[in-house]
Structure formats: structure tokens, C-alpha cells
Structure 1
């Protein structure tokens, strides 16, 4: 594999969809390395830290960046489901061919827009179809894991609320109140489904966002603490250090080398 030089402070406010047609590559997403082998896809959400690590010389891939406003809300929920564990998906031949044809059509319309004179809605529809193919592949995983058990439905709702409210909701009781259940029952449901407590997941999301801000911005630790809803930056430093095993400043120095 050919190594890449890591770009500094990479964090975008749009979706990045990767369709690898062939080859092997490695990408870091939120400080975890993900391998793509042969024909596969990977979706990177707005705000996630990402950079390439290495790729084989024969690797071919499409990289598609799409503004949040062009991604249907239903598709966003599917991608958000995988927020806690980014993963690449290997495509079957029929899926791969369909996605490749869709992307080639988008490229053709874009390159020849002056001659074609299509209305903007045509390109929007093509982009929607492309994103829909990505979403369909991820939804297939979701459907395989789907269940109607009350505990798993509650866990899914808790995680949805967590992504929306982690800067203001800091304890299990905040989420339990929004779901009209007791904190004890919510904790029991989440632990039964995931193996971890509500407090653990709250901490995971807060720490991940802190790590992103430390890596991708020049904000001070005090500013980052306030952005994450901590009024006491000293407490935030202890909170981060206990979870990460190093101080915010040490983390920034290590990953920004």
C-alpha cells in the first residue's frame, strides 16, 4: 500500500460518500482506522474527522461530497444510526454496477450541462438517487439487526436523542424524562441492548466531540468546554482526562503532530 501524508485539521460540514470500485485502502474516521477492500462503500457524516492512511496502487474510487440540504431526512436517519460505529460495506455486483452507472450519469450531466441545458432539478434527482443507493446498503444492515423488543426500541430512541442533545443533556434523567420513563428503566434497557450504561454512551459522544474540536479547531480547552455545555472548564479537563487517559492538551499535541 502507498501511504498518504495526513492532512491537518480535516473536518467538514458535508457528507462524504466513498465508492471504492476496486483495490484496498485505509481511512481513519474519528480516530479509528477503517479498511476498504475491493468493491465497497463508506459514508462519512458531517463533523466526523477523517483522512486517508494508505491505498494500493490499483485502487479506483469515487469520492462524492454532498451538502446536508441535498440529503433526504429519511436517509440522514439511516446514516445517523451508524454514527456510533462507522463501517465500510462490501457491495454485490448488481449494487455496484447500479451505483457506478448512477455516478457516471451525474458526471456526464455535470460535464455537459451547457449543452444539455437540463433543469437543476434533474441533477438534484440524480444526486438523490445516488445517496439513496448508499442509504439502501446501510439500511440493509439496520434491517438485519432490527427487532421489536421494547428495550431495543428505547435504546434506538435514546441514541437519537443523544446525538441531538448531548451539549445540554448531561445525565440519564434528562433522556429518561424525554422518553417518559424512569432513569433506572432506561439504563436497564440500554445496558441489556448494548452492554453499556446510559452514562457510558453520554460520555462517549461528549468525548468524541471534544476530540474532534481539539483536533480540528484552534479553540482553547476553556472554549471547547463551554461549547460542550460545561460551565467549569477545570471539571471538563478532569472529565476528559478520566475518560481518555490523557489531558485535552496532551491529546491535541499527540494527534496534531
Structure 2
């Protein structure tokens, strides 16, 4: 049994898409996609800069108040919805998962930017005033010359670097680079295996390190144990599935590799504080 989650395809919402990328003003994008308010996930990268407007938007069940000059990044697979208020404006960029594949030597390069960490807490922030003019100008140029794929690659990476620089993150030491690479590999492995591998020792073996090393690394960088990170990923997927009302709780438990429905319910309530049914009622 394979569950089908509402996935918004790039071609469905992107209109005049060129070679795997779309750049559009927010007002025009919303006018074309006025019914896109239900929880859904994309199969592409999605970033949005607000320059005007208000309301709320939610990414993986974390809700944010919209303010001008807020920007958010979403990776493929994350669930989001929005509720806008007033006159909205800004810029939207959608690009395919493989957009940088032939342009960058390292296919995992996007993961080096903090806002592509996979954690919602890193994906939403405010653009500092000193960077606003140059970032808007770059968005305008990117929209004008989006058919030039090399220009689009370079411009988008330029925006990423400007935004990463303005976050004032400390430069990592060599040891930090090694540990963060390990952590990124751990998170990637969870993404691939969370349905079947639930123990830190399984992931530590795949990374050729000890479970103690893995746990210490997770505690130091993320403030959670390796086991908690694995369980949180399973819990997140359960929440994503629960907002789609067509599937029974037992079906979701089966998809996530729980032995029975009652065990899944206990797992969910321990992590979220409510039963799956209560969570679904609240979010749908």
C-alpha cells in the first residue's frame, strides 16, 4: 500500500517555467494560484520573499506571522499552507531538484547553506535592511533574464550567498566542517531510512562512527539526542500524512512501519501530546 500525498508539480504552479526555474512577482503568482490554500507539498525547491502584506504561513506545522522583508525557503517534500491578508507583493522562485545538478561539482552543495538544513527554524528569517536593495535588484534581473540558464544559476547562488552572509553565522573550524558533514550525512540517511531504521546504532554503523560519537554530535549541534532526531522525523511524517483526511490511522501506521495501530497511537501521543485523531481534527 502506497499513500499518495497531494504533491504540487512544478509545471502546475510555475506558469512560464524556463529550463527548470520560475521567477515571478508574488501578486501575479497568487492571482494564478488563488486556490492553493490547502496543505500540500512540492516536488521542487520554493522560496518566497515578502515585500508587502500580512497574514500567516505554515511550514511543517510551524506557523509564522508574515512581515515585510521576511523570506522563507522550502525543500521538496515539506508541507505548507498560507493565509494572506491585505495586498501581497514580493517574489517567488521555484526551481527543480536537479536544477544545479550539471552546474555544481558537488550535488550536495545547497545543503551547505543554513536555510537548506531541513529544519524549519533555519528556513524563515528577515532580510536585513542593508541587503534589501541588492537582493530585490537581483530578483528583478533574474526574472528578466531567466531564460539564460547560466545567468539564472549564478544569480540564484549570489542571492543565497548574500543571505547566508547577512545571517552573521560564525565561520566553522576544520573540525566543525567535518562534524557538520557527518551530521548532514546522518540527516540524509534518516530521510532515506526513517521508515525502517529507528535506532541510532544503525545509523552510526552506516556512518562508520560509534553511537556515542553520533549522539554527542547531535547534542552539541542540534541540542537533541540522535534517537530524538530519528523519532522526530517519523513523527513529522506522521503529522504530514494526518493532514490528508482520506487515509485511516491504521493505514498511516502501516505506511510508517508500526506493528499495530495502538503502538502508533502511543508513539504519536508521547511525541505530540495528543492522539492522531485529535491532531487531525485540529489541523484540518
> What is the TM-score normalised by the length of structure 2?
0.71
**Does the alignment pair 1:85 with 2:111?**
no
- 1:116 maps to none
CA distance in 1, matches of 2:158, 2:211: 38
**CA 1:138–1:214 in structure 2 vs 1: closer, same or farther (change >3 Å)?**
farther
Instruction: Give matches, 1:1-257, under 5 Å.
Output: 7-22=37-52, 24-55=54-85, 57=86, 59-72=88-101, 73=107, 74-76=109-111, 78=113, 79-92=115-128, 95-108=131-144, 122=148, 124-137=149-162, 139-140=164-165, 141=167, 143-144=169-170, 146-147=172-173, 148-149=175-176, 154-216=182-244, 218-256=246-284
Cα root mean square deviation, aligned: 3.1
Instruction: State the secondary structure of the residue aligned to 2:170.
Output: helix
For the structure 1 residues 143 and 193, does the alpha-carbon distance in structure 2 shift closer, same or farther, using more than 3 Å as the test? Answer: same
Provide, for residues 218-243 of structure 1, a one-character-per-residue CA deviation record: whole Å limited to 9, x for no partner: 23223322333334343222211221
For residues 32-80 of structure 1, the C-alpha deviation after alignment (integer angstroms, 9 at most, x for no partner) is 122443323211122222122344x454211222222224532255343
The answer to whether the Cα contact below 8 Å between 2:50 and 2:89 also exists between their aligned partners in 1 is yes
**Residue 29 of structure 2: aligned partner:** none
- CA distance in structure 2 between the aligned counterparts of 1:240 and 1:182, rounded to whole angstroms: 28
What is the SS of the residue equivalent to 2:42?
coil
Within 2, Cα distance between the matches of 1:253 and 1:27?
19
Structure 2 unaligned blocks of 5 or more:
1-33, 102-106
Question: SS at 1:242's partner residue?
Answer: helix
Q: Which runs of 5+ in 1 are unaligned?
A: 111-119
Q: Classify 1:248/1:20 alpha carbon distance in 2 versus 1 (closer, same or farther; 3 Å).
A: same
| TM-score, normalised by the number of residues in structure 1 | 0.77
Q: CA–CA distance in 2 between the matches of 1:137 and 1:231? A: 48
Q: 2-side partners of 1:127 and 1:219: how far apart?
A: 40
